[in-house]
Amino acid sequence: MTITEKILAAHSGKEQVSAGELINAKVDLLLANDITAPIAITEFKKIGAKDVFDRERIAFIPDHFAPQKDIKAAEQCKMLRDFSKEYNLGLYFEVGRMGVEHALLPEQGLVVPGDLVIGADSHTCTYGALGAFSTGVGSTDVASAMATGECWFKVPESIKFIYYGKLNKWVSGKDLILHTIGDIGVDGALYMAMEFEGETIASLPMSGRLTMCNMAIEAGGKNGIIVPDEITEHYVKGRAKREYKFYSSDKDATYAEIKEYDCSKIPPTVSCPHLPSNTKPATELSSVTIDQVVVGSCTNGRIEDLREAAGIIKGKKVNPDTRMIVIPATQQIYLQAVKEGLAEIFVEADAVFSTPTCGPCLGGHMGILAKGEKAIATTNRNFVGRMGHPESEVYLSNPAVAAASAVLGRIGTPEEVI
C-alpha cells in the first residue's frame, strides 16, 4: 500500500484498502473557519445532534474575514464563538491567538504524522507535509463529523512525483509545486493522492514541504503527502500535542503514474493569470508592471518566507508606484518577525506589516484589487476576481520574487535588486 492507503486503512479498521474503495474512517481532527463553520453549525443543529464527538478534536479558526471587516463578518465570527462556548470546545482561536488555519495547526502541534484530518477549506491538504492524510471537505461533511467523529471517503489513486538535482538559487518549494502544476495542469491529479519524494524533497525544509502539499489542490489533488523522515521528526518533536505514527509507502505499492523532475532545470517560476498552471520563468515577465505585492497566506506566510522576502528588500524601498503588504501567518510568526527585526525592515521599506489574516488572498479584505490592477502574491490561487475586481490580475510567486518585484515595480528576480 501507499502511505495514503495505509493511513486510510488504519482509520477505517481495515487491514488493507485499495484505490476506488468506499470507506468510513475515524477523523483525528476537523477544522473550519469563519466562512465554512457557520454552515456546518447550522447543519449540525438541523440534524438534531446532541453533542460533539470530542471537544478537543474540533478546531474553529476565524481567519478569512478576521479581524472582522464588517457587520456580516462579525456575525459569522460570533457564530463560531457562541458554538464553541456552548459545547466547551478546546480549540477555538480568537483574534489575538488565531492565525491562518493551515499554518497555525501544525505550528501548535495539533496535527501530527499519521493523522486523518478533514477541514472545511480546500487547503487542508497542507498537513500532508507532516505525513498525515488531510483533505478539504464540504461544510455538511464537517457537520456530520462533528457529531460522529467519522467521514466517508473514496480511496484515491496515487501519483508519485520524484524530484532530484540541486535547487537553483532563489528556487524553493513554491517553485517546485508551481512547475509541477504547470506540467500536469489544474486537473492533472484530479481526486488523486500526490506523493512527493526524491533527494530534493529529502533535503527540503518543512516550510517548503508545507507549501508544496498546500497547493496539491491546485492540481485537483485529493491530498498531497510526503513520507515523514528526520526533518519531520525534528519539526514535530517537542510541539506534538498527541502521540504520532510514521507511515511509509511499500516499495511494491501501486501508482497510477510516476513523474520525475530535474530540479536543477527549474528556475524561479511565476503563475500568470488566471490559472496556477499558467506558469512561466520569472525572467520572461519583466514587462509586467505591478500595483500590489502580497507576502503571506497559508502557502507562504511562515517565518522562513518572511526572512526570504526581508533579505531581498532590506535597505531598499518599495517602488513608489507599488504597494506591498506583508502578513505573517500566525501570532507566533508575527512576534518572531518583530524579534528578528524583519517587521522593521518591511516598514522601513514602506511596506505594510499586518496582523495575521487570510485577508487579500481570497479577496476578503486588507488588499483588494481595483479594476485593471495587477498583483504578485505568494498566495495559492489566481482565478478571475480572486483578489478583487474581475478585471484585475494575480500572479503567483515565491517570496523572493515577490519582494524583488516590490522594489522594481514590475515582475523581476532577486538578482536584479541585490
* Residue extents of the structural domains in the chain: 3-261, 267-416
Q: Please give the mean pLDDT across all residues of the chain.
A: 97
pLDDT at 286: 96
Name beta bridge partners: 259.
161
Give 10-residue mean pLDDT values along the chain (418 residues): 98 96 98 97 95 97 95 96 97 95 97 98 97 97 97 98 96 98 96 98 97 98 98 96 97 97 97 97 97 98 98 97 98 98 98 96 94 98 95 98 98 95
Neighbours of 147 (CB within 10 A): 17
How far separated are the first and last CA of the chain, in Å rounded?
A: 48
Do 3-261 and 267-416 come out as alike in CATH topology?
A: yes
- CA-CA distances (angstroms) from residue 154 to 3, 222, 295, 362? 15, 10, 36, 29
Cell 517553485 found at: 175
pLDDT at 43: 96
Specify whether domain 267-416 bears CATH 3.30.499.10: yes
Distance CA 368, CA 377 (A): 12
Distance CA 193, CA 158 (A): 4
pTM score: 0.96
pLDDT at 112: 98
The three cell numbers of residue 246 are: 510514521
Specify whether domain 3-261 bears CATH 3.30.499.10: yes
Nearest to 402 by CA among 392, 389, 394, 411: 411
Q: Of all residues in the chain, what percent are helix, strand and coil, respectively (each to 5)? A: 35, 20, 45
Helix (H) or strand (E) holding 345: helix 342-348
CA R_g for the chain: 20
pLDDT at 318: 98
Task: Give burial (CB, 10 Å; 0-12/13-18/19+) of 243.
Answer: exposed
Neighbours of 238 (CB within 10 A): 7
Would you call the peptide bond into 179 cis, given omega within 30 degrees of 0 as the criterion?
A: no
